[in-house]
Amino acid sequence: MDPLWLALAFVMYIADLLVVLPLVCLICMTARHIASLQPTPPTPFTRQPTATECSICLDMVCDTYCMACPACPQACCVSCLTTHVHNKVADKCRYLGCPSCGTALGAGVLGRVMTASDRVKHDQLAHQSVQRAFKCPRCHAKCVKTTEDYLACTGCRATWCSDCDGRSHYFTFMCKQRAFRRWRVKHDVRQCPQCRCYIEKVDGCHMTCTRCKLQFCWTCHEVYPCRKRCDVPLLVRIVLACLQ
Out of 28-42, 72-86, 153-167, 216-230, which region has the weakest mean confidence (pLDDT)?
Answer: 28-42
Say how many CA atoms lie within 13 Å of 213 toward its Cβ.
0
- Distances from the Cα of 107 to the Cαs of 45, 128, 219, in angstroms? 35, 20, 59
Side-chain-facing half-sphere of 2: CA atoms under 13 Å: 4
Report how far Cα 28 is from the mean position of its chain's Cα atoms: 69
The predicted structure's pLDDT at residue 20: 47
**Quick check: 99 and 56 in contact, CB under 8 A?**
yes
Across 69-186, the runs of DSSP E, i.e. the strands, are 75-77, 133-135, 142-144, 150-152, 159-161
Lowest-confidence segment of 176-185, 208-217, 222-231 by average pLDDT: 222-231
Whether pTM > 0.75 for this model: the answer is no
Model pLDDT, residue 222: 80
Q: What is the pLDDT of residue 39?
A: 54
Looking at residue 46, the DSSP 8-state letter turns out to be: P
Cα distance between residue 201 and residue 225, in whole Å: 18
Can you tell me whether residue 207 is helix, strand or coil?
strand
Q: Taking 70 as the threshold, does the pLDDT of residue 32 lie above it?
A: no
| pLDDT for the residue 151 | 67
**Which residues lie across from 215 on neighbouring strands?**
208
Asked if residue 22 has pLDDT above 50, the reply is: no
User: How far is Cα 237 from Cα 243, in angstroms, rounded to an integer?
Assistant: 10
DSSP 1: -
pLDDT digits (tens, 9 = 90+) for 143-202: 655 544 566 676 677 776 665 555 555 445 556 667 777 777 777 788 888 888 888 887
Which of 28-42, 87-101, 227-241 holds the top average pLDDT? 87-101
Supply angle C-alpha 51, 106, 159, rounded to 5: 140
pLDDT of residue 162: 60
**The predicted structure's pLDDT at residue 171:** 46
Which domains are seen in the chain, by residue range?
A: 51-131 (3.30.40.10), 132-172 (no CATH), 177-232 (no CATH)
User: What tens digit of pLDDT does each residue of 35-61 get?
Assistant: 444 555 555 545 555 777 887 888 887
Residues 99-158: tens digit of each pLDDT: 877 777 788 888 888 888 888 888 887 766 555 556 676 777 666 555 445 666 766 777
Task: Spell out the residues 6+ positions from residue 136 whose beta carbon is closer than 8 angstroms to its own.
Answer: 142, 143, 151, 153, 155, 156, 158
- Residue, of 41 and 210, whose pLDDT is higher: 210
Compare 235 and 89 and report the one with higher pLDDT. Answer: 89
